[in-house]
Structures are given as structure tokens and as C-alpha cells.
Amino acid sequence: MATKKPTHRTPPPVGRAVSVRVDTRLYDDLAILMSTGAKASDAVREAVGRLADAYRQAWDYGDTPRGQQPAVRLTTTPRSMPVRRPDQPV
């Protein structure tokens, strides 16, 4: 009799590295994140953390049942303050 694959997976132990194959899309995404001066590992940590926060929020607010993957469609960023030239009126 075949055994069923578990539906819940656990992350690797703390301190252990995670390996991900870099395809074209990941390469392009990392290039954008690393253009700010971030290292690849820091960019991946930040991205995973932000996505996990979105999952937690969707579960905590009851938007998606806990354990189901929410449809994360939007992120927001504060606007940068435009640089005003000295000769521009207020």
C-alpha cells in the first residue's frame, strides 16, 4: 500500500542552509533586490519574512483558513518624498 505524502512540511533545522535552484525569474527578482546593496541571502530572508507576515495576517484576520495558501496580490510601500529644487515654489 502506498503511503500518502504529508501535507504539512517542516522547515530545515535552525542554522542549516536552504538551497534553491536559481531560474531566470529568481535571477531577475534577486537582481532587483540586490541592486539596493543587499546580499542574496539577506534579500531572500527579507522576501520570505514579508510573505510569511502576509500569510499570518490573512490567517489571523480570517481571510483565509489557517494552513491554506492565501492569494497575496498586493504590497504597499510609502511614497518617497520628492526632491524639490531650491527654485521650485512650495
- Measured between its terminal Cα atoms, the distance across the chain in Å is 76
Is 40 strand, coil or helix?
helix
Question: Is the pLDDT reported for residue 1 higher than 60?
Answer: no
CA quadruple 52, 53, 59, 63: dihedral sign: negative
Residue 43 CB partners (closer than 8 Å, separation 6+):
30, 33, 34
Residue 67 CB partners (closer than 8 Å, separation 6+):
8, 59
Could you read off the pLDDT of 31-78 as tens digits, one per residue?
999 999 999 999 999 999 999 999 999 999 999 999 999 999 887 888
Domain boundary assignment for the chain: 38-66
Q: Give the pLDDT score at 20.
A: 93
How far apart, in Å, are the Cα atoms of 88 and each of 8, 80, 81, 83, 85?
58, 18, 15, 10, 5
